[in-house]
Amino acid sequence: MSNIAGKVVGITGASSGIGEATALLLAEHGAKVVLGARRLDRLEALAARIRGAGGEVAYVRTDARRRDDLSNLVRLACERYGKLDVLVNNAGVMPISPLDDLRVEDWDEMIDVNIKGVLYGIAAALPVFRQQGFGHFVNTASTAGQKTVPNQSVYSGTKFAVRAISEGLRQEAGDKLRVTIISPGYTRTEGVTNLEMKAQLVESQARFAMPPDAIARAIVFAIEQPADIDVNEIVVRPTAQG
């Protein structure tokens, strides 16, 4: 993983799950990680863990719903380390429910975090990448962005949007910037808030869900490629997932 060492990687949603696993794996291989999430206490604990293992880390409280917070995350990376090689737009929520429940506030939150959060990350990092002449967006989508199922239609719609935005960005990016879509299948996650749906998902997770580090390895694989190789999309599912 010689192409990982020294890279500066910003990660949203870094306080748990895929974001936390990605931060730990990248730091282990010599990346300088810049962490953003809403839960500052979790960020502090993760940063201490990374520093304790000899890694380099910075962090700032980041709410993906706030454009200024994404700008602050990118600014921290540039001020602390002089550049930003990669932004992992990973923050996401999954308050799934039947449309009949009319959980409009949940719909709004998914749109704000899952779609607008990715756009705010792009808005913050793209000018920096253009000025540097290099950069890499890694955007977390989902297998729900490829197939819609009952109770997940709004969540699925947000992940279809992430894939569309990412592919459009890739086509516009030119030959200096890279764009990767990561589409996880069932993964052990904290993103589900609807208690009834959460109970069903926890049962599925207990049977065959992947640990978050399975996705972290896919992200690291995309990042470690030479600059002239752009891994456009990686779909990672448990073998048992239909």
Closest by CA position to 31, among listed 3, 59, 73, 53? 3
CA angle 40, 42, 45 (to 5 degrees): 110
Contacts of 134 (CB under 8 A, 6+ apart): 85, 176, 177, 227
Amino acid present at 97 = S
CA distance 165 to 199: 32
Residue 186 bears catalytic tag: no
Active-site position among 81, 120, 155, 186: 155
Closest by CA position to 14, among listed 170, 158, 138? 138
CA distance 87 to 8: 9
Catalytic residues: 155
